Every structure is written in C-alpha cells, then in structure tokens.
Amino acid sequence: MKIPKTIQDLIESFEKLPGIGPKTAQRLTFYLLHVPQGELEKFANSLIDLKTKTTICSTCYSIGESDPCDICSNPQRDSSVICVVEEPLDVLAIEKSRKYNGLYHVLHGRIDPLNSIGPDEIYIRQLFDRVKNSKNGGSISEVIIATNPTMEGEATAMYISKQLKGQSASWRTKVKITRIGRGLPVGSDLEYADEITLENALQGRQEY
C-alpha cells in the first residue's frame, strides 16, 4: 500500500522534531486524521502563530510576545541581578520556583567544540556588552551562571566567568559572579528539574 503524499509529508515533518522517531511520527499523523476539523485548524493556526506572534527579546534574548519581554519590562524585577541560562525553557523552569526575582540572559545554546559551537554562535558577547554597559552606570551587582551541569555547560560557565573577571578590571564597581548551587544532578537539564530542586540550587549558589 502506497501512503498518500500528504500523509507522508506530515510524517516526515514530525520526524524532524527532536525525540520523534518514524513510528511515533506515523502514530501522530494518523491520530490527527481522526481529530475534528475545527480542532485541526486550531492546531494549525497555533503552529503559524508560533512564529508570527512571538519574538526574541532584544535585551535578554528570551522568547515573548513583545520586545522587551514581560520580565525585562517589569519594574518589580530586581534589575541588579542577571541569571544566565542556556535556553528559554530554563527561564520557565526557574520562574516556576517563584524564588527568583531578577532578570535573565538566554544564551540559546552552550559552548560545544565537538559540534563546532563556539562563543560567537550563541549570545555570549551580548551578555558581556550588557554587563559592561550597565557597570558603567553601576546597576548590575551580580551575574548568576545557571548553565546546565554538563561538560558543555561547565565549559560555558568557566568561559563566561573568566571573561567577565578579565573585563571587570576597568569597571568602576565590581560585579559578583556566582554559579548556581549543586542542587541539580550532573548531566541533567534545568527544564526537567522540580521546583524544590531549583529553589535549593538558587539558594545554594556560590561565588564562581
């Protein structure tokens, strides 16, 4: 039996998603065949809106519906502290803990030489510029490095810490550099951590 091209195209589209194999892609496609047309159209519109109605914040590089994002534009947030994370999902994970009230900086990746990802391929330079410009005004007092506790995450944290410490020699006021506490197991991702683990990790951060 030859699968109709429309169905095959959707299966191949699902297969491109992370964690979706051929069998799962087929199940998802044939499941959607039985979904009411109204629900299917709503699903399709959500996919379209994902790109057309979201934007990357030009300040923290997280994903939002406006620029600057809701967090960066919130006057109730502590603008003297920046938490550096790898991905936008990490922001959501930390926000669930309700124990952090500062700002964020999203790198959109981590330094990974084996996959040819260096500092220039992620938003590290923008972090340095952001801290430098702020330090001339003296507003940022701490940078929390909350990259994942993996080899790549640790390498990224070390690079950021070294660069910031080297640049701080010319600043009028020093910036405190801390690393998120070891409440997270090595090799895990922030997005899968529970609220209590994240709370302990934030409270147990140390100078880096």
pLDDT in tens, 114-170: 899 999 999 999 999 999 887 555 588 999 999 998 889 999 999 999 999 888 777
Both 108 and 179 in a single domain?
A: yes
Question: What CATH number should be reported for the domain holding residue 18?
Answer: 1.10.8.420
Domain C-terminal end among 33, 52, 71: 52
pLDDT of 14 higher than 80: yes
* High-pLDDT (> 90) share of the chain, %: 65
The answer to whether the CB of 48 falls within 8 A of the CB of 41 is: no
Could you tell me the residue range of the domain that residue 25 belongs to?
Answer: 5-52
pLDDT of 172 higher than 90: no
Instruction: Name the DSSP letter for residue 114.
Output: G
Question: What CATH number should be reported for the domain holding residue 82?
Answer: 3.40.1360.10
Both 40 and 84 in a single domain?
A: no
Strand order from edge to edge, sheet including 78-85? 102-106, 78-85, 142-145, 176-179, 206-207
In single-letter form, the type of residue at position 204 comes to G
Both 79 and 170 in a single domain?
A: yes
The average pLDDT across 86-92 equals 96
Both 186 and 118 in a single domain?
A: yes
Q: Which residues lie across from 104 on neighbouring strands?
A: 83
- Least Cα distance to 82 among 105, 98, 66 occurs for 105
What total number of domains does the chain contain? 2
Entry pTM: 0.80
Which pLDDT value is given to residue 184? 67
